[in-house]
Amino acid sequence: MRHGESEWNLARRVQGQSLDAGTLTARGIADADAAAGLLARLADKAVVVISSDLRRAADTAEVIRTRLGLPIQFDSSVREQRLGALEGLHTDAPWGTGTVKSEIDSLWSDPRRRPDAGESVGEMSERLLAALSGVLQRCPDGDVIVVTHGGPIRALLLDSGHAPASDANRVRVPNGSITSFATSGDAGRPRLTLIERHDARDGQRLGVPDTDRGHASVSESP
C-alpha cells in the first residue's frame, strides 16, 4: 500500500528519499486509518507489516500496527526512488526545458537514466524485487503488508506487466491505496500477478492501470 497523504504531497514538493520531507497530514492519518480497516478484510491472514523507514511510510505503518496488532519490520529497500537534486523542489518549478514534474516523468521513459545524485527507475525496480525476494524467504506463509510509496508501486505494476511502459508514472496510485499482488515461482525471483486495487478513501476498487491513466493529482508528488 501507499502511505497516507504527507505534508510534502500537499505542498507538491518532490519527496524521494529526502529526510526533510514531512510526516502525515490530518488527512494522511485518516488515509492510514481507512486503509487499516480495508486491510483487516483484504489481508486477514497477514503476519507482518514491512514498511519503508521514511517517516511518512513509518507513521502510516504505525497506524496499521495499532489497528491490526501486527509486528512491523522497517526496511530501507522499499523506500521511494532516490531523486537526488530534484528532492525538495516544487513539481511545477522550471527544470531544463520543462518542469520538475516533466523531468521525473521522463525518467520513466528511459529506466536506465539517473537524475543527478539519484537512482534510475531500473535500479529502483531491482532494489524492490530483491527486497520482495527477501520478504518471501523470511515469511513463506501468510500474507505480508508492505507500506511503501507511489514510485515503487508503479514499478511493480510495470514489472508485472500491468502498467504501460511509456506512461507508468501517470498511473494513479492514490495516498492510502492498496494494491494486492499474488506471487509465484522461485522466491529468488518472484513473479507478480495483480489481484486488485482499492482506494482507501472510499473503499472502491480502482480501475486496471492500463485504463486508469491520468495526470498526477496534488497528492501524487513522488
Strands 178-184 and 98-99: unpaired
Residue of 3, 149, 162, 198 with catalytic role: 3
Q: Is 215 a catalytic residue?
A: no
For 82-145, the three-class secondary structure string (H helix, E strand, C coil) is CCHHHCCCECCCEECCEEHHHHHHHHHHCCCCCCCCCCCHHHHHHHHHHHHHHHHHHCCCCEEE
Q: Quickly list DSSP for 43-81.
A: TTTEEEEEE-SSHHHHHHHHHHHHHH---EEE-GGGPPP
Catalytic residue, candidates 5, 7, 62, 80: 80
Count of all residues that appear for the chain in the document: 222
Q: Which amino acid appears at position 153 of this protein?
A: I
* Element (DSSP H or E) covering residue 191: strand 191-198
CA 168, CA 205: separation in Å to the nearest integer? 19
Strand partners for 144 = 48
Residue 80 designated active-site: yes
Catalytic residues: 3, 80
